[in-house]
Amino acid sequence: MPPRGENLGFLAKLLAAQLTAGRIKLWRRVFFGALLLVAALSLVIPNHHPHFGYDKYPLFWTIFGLGVGLAMVLTVKKIIQPVIKKSEDYYGDL
């Protein structure tokens, strides 16, 4: 809870109120619902100008976003960073 006497603006109150378990669950549902909606819309709305060949197939960008996102984070955090990671003051600049 905010300290007593602190005068919160409407935006601060609104944001603070979103951190209850119920609200988080609601926002998660909204997020997944929106994802389903945009994926469904990509099946309905045709791509008149495919640039890459494969992007003429439905759901190409859906799979591209998810696949590249997963692959990139895993590659960076699990393969690249362990190799190049040093202590924060490795160069003695701090």
For the record, the structure tokens of 73 come out as 């984070």
Return the residues of window 9-28 that contact other proteins according to CB under 8 A.
Answer: 9, 11-16, 19
Write each residue from 45 to 84 as x if it is in contact with other proteins (CB under 8 A), else as -, in one continuous string.
xxxxx-xx------x-xxxxxx-xxx-xxxxxxx-xx--x
Give residues with Cβ within 8 angstroms of 94, minimum separation 6.
88
Give residues with Cβ within 8 angstroms of 47, minimum separation 6.
55, 56
60 contacts 54 by C-beta, under 8 angstroms: yes
**Considering the complex, what minimum distance in angstroms separates the CB of residue 1 from other proteins?**
7
**Considering the complex, what minimum distance in angstroms separates the CB of residue 92 from other proteins?**
9
40 contacts 59 by C-beta, under 8 angstroms: no
Instruction: List contacts with other proteins (CB under 8 A).
Output: 1-3, 8-9, 11-16, 19, 31, 34-35, 38-39, 41-42, 45-49, 51-52, 59, 61-66, 68-70, 72-78, 80-81, 84-91, 93-94
